[in-house]
Amino acid sequence: MIIVHAPDAAFDLKARRAIVGELTDVALECETLPKSPFVKSTVWTYFNLYDQDTIFMGEEEATTNVVSVQIFVIEGGLDSDAKKRLIERATIIFGQQLGTSNLMPVYIIIHEVLEENWGIFGRKADLVAYRTSPIDAAAMVII
């Protein structure tokens, strides 16, 4: 699960779609999860967009598009190197859409959640089952 907090003017729909596509692939690579339609359909990304006058840098209204990203993963899904890669690559993805390549105002927090504390489909999460699921597993469909 990925939650993005950003000014509403930072990313239009086209940019959000581009971010989600790239970020999903990067996250699955870093977690060594298959890029199957099923696993991709379990990666939910939420954009919380804020009016510019509700974002501050210290005591002043923000003068740039500051973005914070919370990435929730099953504990054990990312080792230290994978976390580093995820942070670096996610920052680049957001920076490209912000139109900047140096000192990108992107803050990333990775939350590791124990399998027993993560429920999905009425059961606790199972990292091994996700990692070994078939590459052609169909996407989750909710009607």
Instruction: Give CATH for domain 2-131.
Output: 3.30.429.10
Residue pLDDT, tens place only, 62-103: 888 899 999 999 999 999 999 999 999 999 999 999 988 777
Q: Which range, 51-55, 79-83, 116-120, is most confident? A: 79-83
pLDDT at residue 103 in the model: 72
Q: Are 37 and 93 in contact (CB under 8 A)?
A: no
Split at pLDDT 50, 70, 90, the class of 138 is: confident
Split at pLDDT 50, 70, 90, the class of 47 is: very high
Joined tokens for residue 22: 């790239």
pLDDT at residue 30 in the model: 98
Average pLDDT, the chain: 93
Joined tokens for residue 113: 């959640």
Report the chain's terminal Cα–Cα distance, integer Å.
20
Split at pLDDT 50, 70, 90, the class of 140 is: confident
More confident residue, 58 or 101: 58
Residue ranges covered by each domain of the chain: 2-131
User: Tokens 């996250």, residue?
Assistant: 27
Which residues partner with 46 through β-bridges? 3
What phi, psi does 12 have (nearest 5°)?
A: -80, 180
Q: Given a cut of 80, is residue 143 above it in pLDDT?
A: no
